[in-house]
Amino acid sequence: MTAITVHNLRKTFQMKRKAAGLRGSLRALWRPAYQSIEAVRGLSFAMEEGELLGFIGPNGAGKSTTIKILTGILHPSSGEATVLGHVPWQQRQDLAFQIGSVFGQRPQLWYHLPAADTFYLFGKIYELADADLHRRIAFLAEAFEIEELLETPVRKLSLGQRMRCEVAASLLHKPRVLLLDEPSIGLDVVAKQRLRLTIQRMSELEGVGVLLTSHDAGDIEALCRRVIIVNHGEIVYQDKVSALKRRYLTVKTVDVRYNEQLPADFGLPGVETLKVGRYGAKLRFDTRETPVEPVISGLAAAGSLADVTVSEPSLEDVISAIYERTETESG
């Protein structure tokens, strides 16, 4: 069943423009100038219930604006969208009972109070019975490994601990869809990894669908099966993460080391030689032009192999390349 449908969604903001300095301020006072900024330009996509969908793009790509429209925070300029059968900006309250949201830059936990106090407040907001709320908090505390943190004032938690509490709070009412906007922003590698694992576990346990926006490709790679890449408010790529890798991760880099010295003119047909040393070399080839097998057998035939490492570019590099390509195409 489809959880989210978006069709030709657009959002335009009016931005006030002003030249720098006093003269610019005076001119803006007398004759203010406005510029229309299209944050979202005709987005169309769908997300199934229980799906983990990545929504990735650089700063200002329109990710957060889209999430805010889907939660009912913003009204779109035009287009259609439904979340669990509700039009978000028309049925905001009914929808909010069925979805959860976490905005990395906008905490929902009360800063001076322990997270448990916000959890109990959320229990009232979502009209949960006291016994159910206690059971739910105990379950989430265990799943998110936050039992020891619940009674500590939020201001004293680390960013990673706070974010786990934030996501747990958004799941208190067992939402069917979770909208996560940059949940890993500012987290270190370990905290990111822990958060990703917990989100994945909750999705498996409760079947909650997750629409995850991030500018960190690692989040998407670790969590999502499908990815939508947006830039300048438009979708520039939409497919499975595995297809993205297959399609774009075709360039391989090979680091090879031999037990004997290499000739100065060391090389293989169809393979670019990046660097040659006395006992080793660094090579690059594109699998669309040169298959892996002749390269490996060529390397083995060239001498007594000590070590071979074949690596591919990170998903981050691939996405950067996609952004650059769209920038070039759009002029």
Partner 1 sequence: MFRHLPFVLALWKTNLLSAMEYRVSFLTQMVGMMLNNAIYFVFWVIFFARFEEINGWDLVDMFFLFGVVATGFGAGTYLFGNAVRLSSLIAEGQMDYYLSLPRPVLLHALASRSNASSAGDFIYGLFSFGAAVFYTGTFGGMMVLRFALGCLAAIAVLISFLVLVQSLTFWIGNTDLLRRNAFNAIVTFSLYPITLFDGTAKLLLFTLIPAAFIGALPAEFVRRFDLMQLVQICAGSAVFLFLAVFVFYRGLRRYESGSAIQVRT
Site map (CB under 8 A) of partner 1, residues 67-96, x = contact: -x--xxxxx----------------xxxxx
For helices 130-143 and 189-206, give the axis angle rounded to 10 degrees: 130
* Residues within window 122-161 making contact with partner 1, judged by CB under 8 A: 123-127, 153
In the bound complex, what is the minimum distance in angstroms from residue 269's beta carbon to partner 1? 52
Burial class (CB in 10 A: 0-12, 13-18, 19+), 181: buried
Residue 23 has a CB neighbour count (10 Å cut-off) of 9
| Binder of partner 1 out of 2, 111, 247, 314 (CB under 8 A) | 111
Q: Take residue 205 and report the two structure tokens written for it.
A: 């346990």
Q: Take residue 330 and report the two structure tokens written for it.
A: 């759009």
Residue of 133, 132, 131, 163 lying closest to 146 (CA atoms)? 163
Closer to partner 1 at the Cβ: 68 or 252?
68
In the bound complex, what is the minimum distance in angstroms from residue 189's beta carbon to partner 1? 22
Closer to partner 1 at the Cβ: 173 or 226?
173
| Binder of partner 1 out of 28, 121, 276, 296 (CB under 8 A) | 121
In the bound complex, what is the minimum distance in angstroms from residue 94's beta carbon to partner 1? 7
Residue of 264, 213, 164 lying closest to 59 (CA atoms)? 213
- 78 pairs with which residues across the strands? 10
- Looking at 207-291, list the stretches that DSSP marks H as alpha helix, in order from N- to C-terminal side: 217-223, 241-248
**Contact region for partner 1 (CB under 8 A) — 97-105, 241-249, 281-289, 298-306?**
97-105
For helices 159-170 and 130-143, give the axis angle rounded to 10 degrees: 140
| Binder of partner 1 out of 97, 142, 201, 307 (CB under 8 A) | 97
* Residues within window 150-209 making contact with partner 1, judged by CB under 8 A: 153
| Binder of partner 1 out of 3, 6, 115, 118 (CB under 8 A) | 118
Q: Take residue 200 and report the two structure tokens written for it.
A: 């994945």
Closer to partner 1 at the Cβ: 37 or 300?
37
Instruction: Specify whether the CB–CB gap between 241 and 56 falls below 8 A.
Output: no
Closer to partner 1 at the Cβ: 34 or 225?
34
**Contact region for partner 1 (CB under 8 A) — 65-73, 218-226, 293-301, 307-315?**
65-73
Q: Take residue 210 and report the two structure tokens written for it.
A: 């997750």
Closer to partner 1 at the Cβ: 101 or 198?
101
Judged by DSSP in three states, 184 sits in: coil
Closer to partner 1 at the Cβ: 13 or 279?
13
> Chain-centre distance of CA 205, in angstroms?
21
Q: What is the torsional sign of CA 200, 195, 70, 9?
A: negative
Closer to partner 1 at the Cβ: 33 or 125?
125
Closer to partner 1 at the Cβ: 6 or 299?
6
In the bound complex, what is the minimum distance in angstroms from residue 256's beta carbon to partner 1? 47
User: Using CA atoms, how far apart are residues 89 and 95, in angstroms rounded to an integer?
Assistant: 9
Applying CB under 8 A, the site for partner 1 has a residue count of: 36
Region of residue 127 (phi > 0: left; psi between -120 and 50: alpha; otherwise: beta): left
In the bound complex, what is the minimum distance in angstroms from residue 73's beta carbon to partner 1? 4
Closer to partner 1 at the Cβ: 153 or 298?
153
- Tokens 């944050």 locate to 39
Which residues make up the interface to partner 1 (CB under 8 A)?
13, 64-65, 68, 71-75, 92-97, 101, 103, 105-113, 117-118, 120-121, 123-127, 153
